[in-house]
Chains A and B, each alone.
Chain A
Amino acid sequence: MKKEYLKIDKVVGPLIQVSDVDDVFYGEVVDIVEIGTGKVKKGKVIKIEEKNVVIQVFQNTAGLAAGNSIIKFTGESFNLPMSLDLQGRIFNGIGEPIDNGSDIFSLVEANINGRPINPMSREYPRNFIQTGISSIDTLATLIRGQKLPIFSGNGLPHNELAAQIVKQARLGDNVHEDFAVVFAAIGVKHDDEKFFRKSFDDANVMDRVVMFVNYADDPIAERITTPRCALTAAEYLAFEKHMHILVVMTDITSYCEALREISSAREEVPSRKGYPGYMYSDLASLYERAGMLKDQVGSITFLPILTMPNDDITHPIPDLTGYITEGQIVLGRDLFQRSIYPPVAILPSLSRLMKDGIGDGFTREDHAEVANQLFASYSKVQEVRDLSQIIGEEDLSSTDKKYMAFGRAFEAKFLNQGFDESRNIVESLNLGWQLLSLLPLTELDRLSPENIEKYFPKGS
């Protein structure tokens, strides 16, 4: 029989301290039962010193005080029941159903912290996923099993972009390979959650979506568990049930802010901007759960969304994320203000895995060259624009004027596309060639003569 305690020494933010405790283990789950109402809050042991224990409470700690609650140590780690029935269901950030459905019953339980995948067991991801979005497919190609975040800013259409990817992307190779979506909302507005729910409905995938939702007005400590519950479900479906899973997670910024708040309640030494020194490792413990395994079907493709505070890509949240993920899709405010959708700023965007997933046999032989040339030419556009700011477009050299024209056309025709428009990779690449033909051939030094011969639009 596990012991129960009546005494709470101290409540600091989401943490409570209890003394004179015996026989608990690090990471043990705790039930905090309110006397009278019988309401239960969950918590977890995060520090033990002799008989003193610090517990992180996942629900609101307001009202918790000595004498009004019983602390029960459950003798369990934070486990969730796993089953195919997770699909089509909605849970809160600690994995309890909030859709009025029944509890999940299963003999299979998994610790939400997961464990590191042995690099020997991984398979390097190489399969191209067509999202139907030209900028992504051509220039920052998504690969099955990749972790590719969207770096956005407040008010930018990251939700729309994620919804469009969910709608248009094909994850499995064929009809026999099953797919599902795991969606984690961390500290989101009710409107945002509704938007996603509606878009899953529109995409006809609602019965294949597992949702974990922590609203903006939910307790912050629950934000720590929300992504872990979601990834645990994803691992189960991908690695035990061999499905292709797309994990969409928003907003990592809320997650990191919760991490900071708890860290400061623990009085830890902060590193940059008050975020804890272990934030890199902590984020890695989420992002690294994406991937594929050797010799078996199933994958976790991970699209986390984060809003960069002040659109600053060097802020610790995007910075540490970019150091862990396999690239990033960056949204740009100036493109957005010029009504370009999706406003993908291609120069800072990157897909580290695209090199092995494109080209002959995957997309098309000219893909790498077209991508390189578009990057190089568009980066030159930026320089020419800066210059034209100073000397005026009229006084630019004739080549530079062509760059200006190319830049405008590239944004209007290539980057810009409809929310419901899906272009296949061949269409996107051909469009790329067409736009490049606005530039003199001598400027196109990333293209090989063979591909120019084959793909350069004739008559231009």
Chain B
Amino acid sequence: MTVMEENKIKGIISAINGPVIKGKNMTSFKMREMVTVGNKHLIGEVIVLEGDVGTIQVYEETEGLKIGEVITPTGKPLSLKLGPGMLKNMFDGIQRPLEKIQELSPIFIPEGIGLLSIDDQKQWVTTLTVNTGDVLLAGSVFGTIQETEVIENRLLVPPNVSGTVIEVVPNGSYTIEDVLVRIQDQKNQVHELKMAHEWPVRTPRPNAYRRETLVPLITGQRVIDIFFPIAKGGTAAIPGGFGTGKTMTQHQLAKWSDADIIVYIGCGERGNEMTEVIEDFPKLIDPRSGKSIMERTVLIANTSNMPVAAREASIYTGITIAEYYRDMGYAVAMMADSTSRWAEALREISGRLEEMPAEEGYPAYLPSRIAEFYERAGSVETLGGDDASITIIGAVSPAGGDFSEPVTENTKRFVNVFLALDKSLAYARHYPAINWLESYSGYIKILSDWYEDNVAEDCISLRNKMLELLYEENKLQEMVMLVGEDVLPDDQRWVLEIAKIIKVGYLQQNAYNKDDTYVPLQKQYVMLKAIEYLYDSGREGLKLGIPTSQLKDLDIFSQFIKMKYTIPNDDLSGIDRLKDEIDQHFEILFKKYEN
């Protein structure tokens, strides 16, 4: 501790209630200031100040604290150190690297380990891209580092600094603490630029302006890319009861989305799920870069048994890291599993503060917090002038699986894509259990140009047609449940048959199958187009009075159900052969019935 810190006025602990403590003598503290608490120097944050009494949420286990121990201010808000070394790593809710913690304590996470952050010893090979005399504005790039095999870290002038370069180090190896560039601003003040700079997690990083989102996040998941697409820079929620597939879907998106950077937050969920990511991701090859998907991934883990206050912070830690990479000009996708645990952390802290609860014990500010969070998504032009985006996909875990609870309801208000997971689909092992009747994407209109230009002219109209068919099937099923299928007229039975192919052969997508886990957009399109072809051919037959039982060729149907496995992702010629078979089948039938 420096002499300066020693001299700061300290608070005195006066009350302890789980993760929330109170202190006296805190007049000189600031709201949202980061503090260390007690003899173990636990990390905390001031969340209420009233007179000389402050309330602090503590990010570590508080057992062992005593009244009278001191609270030391740090003089700054809860902040992250943003610099190279985050990719391929896993951090706790306040950006402490779990690997380093493991070195200090091999199995369990102890309290009082202090403020650790990204590696400050590592030497990075740095290329400086500026010269003395250059004028640097906030957000401009002054150097680059190959942070991982696929990601170049662009060293940014922090958002609140600008000036003329007066000194640059030569290219070489440096740590995040070395001064690389000195700039002088208009007031003749000199600023040191390092690889890393600090940023308070609760303050969104600025950008030049927001722009419209016109490009989809391609996920390789048929039900999402074709039926309910997410725009890059957009927002999506995945609500679902336990076991319906939230985490699987989030993992699939983290693995296969065509974003440049993935920030994955395990917020109040299972330890093993984070372990699984650590074990599996390095082995998976990104189809675009040809390198491991871990090369572009940052993991934040506050598992359900870790301190609850750090859970509240983990969401902000994640989004701030996402913004940091966005500001380099990247398309970032962030998954938060699960935002409900974050909301519950808010509720728990609020309860300990004895605030007046609104619905189901949640604080009245829940909706505004959710809104603020999703508002940090978006497509922007960065301060440095690049196109970049953050897409946020939040899982929601409704109590009792009931979507009318406060977190789901309020999330729905602020996101544009709603991927509703359905218990009965999950029970029938229809995965992903995304209910096509309840889900929606608000991006269909603005993305339709993209789909028409990049996939096929009729891509969106095909999607709409097939979705309508599924709606119709739903109505028919209600009738079937009353009278049985046999009494329906043939055209309606044909709808049921085709809908079954869409459901089993198309919407169901097996994350564990090596080919089906990720499907290129072109294959997604031609598969659906082939189903449409079968549907339309059958309707021709119906006009001739051919019964559904005749139209339905068992061999063709079984090929449709299995085409996702039998047609290789990189060779779609099998689809044409399938269409030929359809033609042959119907030609024979038509001949028979025309006479």
Smallest Cβ distance from A311 to chain B, in angstroms?
Answer: 14
Is A170's beta carbon under 8 Å from chain B?
A: no
Residues in chain B near residue A391, CB distance under 8 A: 483-484
A50 contacts B108, CB within 8 Å?
Answer: no
- Interface hit among B2-10, B14-22, B175-183, B205-213: B14-22
B275 contacts A123, CB within 8 Å?
Answer: yes
A277 contacts B347, CB within 8 Å?
Answer: yes
A119 contacts B271, CB within 8 Å?
Answer: yes
User: Which of the residues B62, B68, B397, B554 comes within 8 Å of A442, measured between beta carbons?
Assistant: B554
A50 contacts B15, CB within 8 Å?
Answer: yes
A284 contacts B347, CB within 8 Å?
Answer: no
Is B67's beta carbon under 8 Å from chain A?
A: yes
Smallest Cβ distance from A317 to chain B, in angstroms?
Answer: 11
User: Which of the residues A118, A281, A368, A387 comes within 8 Å of B348, measured between beta carbons?
Assistant: A281
B484 contacts A120, CB within 8 Å?
Answer: no
Residues in chain B near residue A268, CB distance under 8 A: 351
- Interface hit among A8-16, A18-26, A160-168, A181-189: A18-26
Question: Which residue in chain B gives the minimum CB-CB distance to A24?
Answer: B66
B399 contacts A319, CB within 8 Å?
Answer: yes
Is B169's beta carbon under 8 Å from chain A?
A: no
Residues in chain B near residue A350, CB distance under 8 A: 243
Residues in chain A near residue B99, CB distance under 8 A: 120
Q: Mark B274-289, 1 if CB is under 8 A from A, else 0.
A: 1110110000000000
A121 contacts B558, CB within 8 Å?
Answer: no
The distance in angstroms between the C-alpha atoms of A412 and B16, with both chains bound, is 58
Number of interface residues of A (CB under 8 A): 76
- Interface hit among A94-102, A127-135, A324-332, A431-439: A324-332
Interface contact tally, CB-CB below 8 A = 203
User: Which of the residues A288, A314, A375 comes within 8 Å of B305, measured between beta carbons?
Assistant: A288
Residues in chain A near residue B68, CB distance under 8 A: 23
Question: Which residue in chain B gives the minimum CB-CB distance to A355?
Answer: B512
Is B136's beta carbon under 8 Å from chain A?
A: no
The distance in angstroms between the C-alpha atoms of A23 and B69, with both chains bound, is 10
B interface residue numbers (CB < 8 A to A): 14-18, 22, 61-68, 90, 98-99, 101-102, 105-110, 241-243, 266, 268, 270-272, 274-276, 278-279, 301, 303-306, 308, 341, 344, 347-348, 351, 354, 357, 360-361, 397, 399-402, 427-429, 480-486, 504, 512, 554, 557-558, 561-562, 565
Complex interface residues of chain A between 387 and 409 (CB less than 8 A to chain B): 387, 390-391, 395-397, 400
Question: Which residue in chain A gives the minimum CB-CB distance to B280?
Answer: A124
Which of A119, A314, A324, A347: most chain B CB closer than 10 A?
A: A119
Residues in chain A near residue B305, CB distance under 8 A: 116-117, 281, 284-285, 288-289
B270 contacts A319, CB within 8 Å?
Answer: no
Residues in chain B near residue A309, CB distance under 8 A: none
Sample (11) of A-B pairs whose CB atoms are under 8 Å apart: A115-B61, A115-B110, A117-B109, A120-B278, A280-B341, A280-B344, A285-B305, A323-B242, A323-B397, A376-B429, A379-B429
Residues in chain B near residue A272, CB distance under 8 A: 360, 399-400
B348 contacts A119, CB within 8 Å?
Answer: no
Smallest Cβ distance from B397 to chain A, in angstroms?
Answer: 6
User: Which of the residues A113, A121, A355, A390 comes within 8 Å of B481, measured between beta carbons?
Assistant: A390
B65 contacts A26, CB within 8 Å?
Answer: yes
User: Which of the residues A280, A376, A395 comes within 8 Å of B268, measured between beta carbons?
Assistant: A280
Is A49's beta carbon under 8 Å from chain B?
A: yes
B278 contacts A119, CB within 8 Å?
Answer: yes
Is A293's beta carbon under 8 Å from chain B?
A: yes
Question: Which residue in chain B gives the minimum CB-CB distance to A315?
Answer: B400
* Secondary structure dominating the interface of B: mixed
Residues in chain A near residue B65, CB distance under 8 A: 25-26
B107 contacts A293, CB within 8 Å?
Answer: yes
User: A49-B14, A119-B272, A324-B270 provided; 14 other pairs, C-beta below 8 A?
Assistant: A24-B66, A25-B65, A47-B15, A48-B67, A115-B108, A117-B305, A118-B98, A284-B303, A291-B272, A316-B399, A323-B242, A368-B512, A376-B429, A390-B483
The distance in angstroms between the C-alpha atoms of A324 and B520, with both chains bound, is 34
Known contacts A48-B16, A327-B243; A27 and B63 CB within 8 A of each other: yes
The distance in angstroms between the C-alpha atoms of A26 and B554, with both chains bound, is 70
Residues in chain A near residue B274, CB distance under 8 A: 119
B102 contacts A121, CB within 8 Å?
Answer: yes
User: Which of the residues A25, A119, A326 comes within 8 Å of B303, measured between beta carbons?
Assistant: A119
Residues in chain A near residue B512, CB distance under 8 A: 355, 368
Question: Which residue in chain A gives the minimum CB-CB distance to B110?
Answer: A115
The distance in angstroms between the C-alpha atoms of A37 and B278, with both chains bound, is 57
Smallest Cβ distance from A450 to chain B, in angstroms?
Answer: 11
A387 contacts B480, CB within 8 Å?
Answer: yes
Known contacts A322-B242, A396-B484; A314 and B400 CB within 8 A of each other: yes
A113 contacts B242, CB within 8 Å?
Answer: no
Complex interface residues of chain A between 246 and 294 (CB less than 8 A to chain B): 268-272, 277-278, 280-281, 284-285, 288-289, 291, 293
The distance in angstroms between the C-alpha atoms of A239 and B557, with both chains bound, is 53
Residues in chain A near residue B275, CB distance under 8 A: 119-120, 122-124
Which of B242, B354, B397, B486: most chain A CB closer than 10 A?
A: B242
The distance in angstroms between the C-alpha atoms of A449 and B117, with both chains bound, is 53
B63 contacts A77, CB within 8 Å?
Answer: yes
A119 contacts B98, CB within 8 Å?
Answer: yes
B304 contacts A280, CB within 8 Å?
Answer: yes
Residues in chain A near residue B243, CB distance under 8 A: 322, 327-328, 350, 352
B16 contacts A47, CB within 8 Å?
Answer: yes
User: Which of the residues B64, B107, B351 comes within 8 Å of A26, measured between beta carbons?
Assistant: B64
A117 contacts B108, CB within 8 Å?
Answer: yes
Residues in chain B near residue A348, CB distance under 8 A: 427
Residues in chain A near residue B486, CB distance under 8 A: 397
Residues in chain B near residue A115, CB distance under 8 A: 61, 108-110
Question: Which residue in chain A gives the minimum CB-CB distance to B246?
Answer: A323
Is A219's beta carbon under 8 Å from chain B?
A: no
Complex interface residues of chain A between 340 and 389 (CB less than 8 A to chain B): 347-348, 350, 352-353, 355, 368, 372, 375-376, 379-380, 383, 386-387
Is A114's beta carbon under 8 Å from chain B?
A: yes
Which of A49, A115, A239, A281: most chain B CB closer than 10 A?
A: A281
Question: Which residue in chain A gives the minimum CB-CB distance to B555?
Answer: A442
Smallest Cβ distance from B299 to chain A, in angstroms?
Answer: 9
Question: Which residue in chain B gives the minimum CB-CB distance to A373?
Answer: B429
The distance in angstroms between the C-alpha atoms of A135 and B363, with both chains bound, is 44
B16 contacts A26, CB within 8 Å?
Answer: yes
The distance in angstroms between the C-alpha atoms of A454 and B74, with both chains bound, is 68
The distance in angstroms between the C-alpha atoms of A363 and B272, with both chains bound, is 22
The distance in angstroms between the C-alpha atoms of A22 and B67, with both chains bound, is 8
The distance in angstroms between the C-alpha atoms of A22 and B66, with both chains bound, is 9
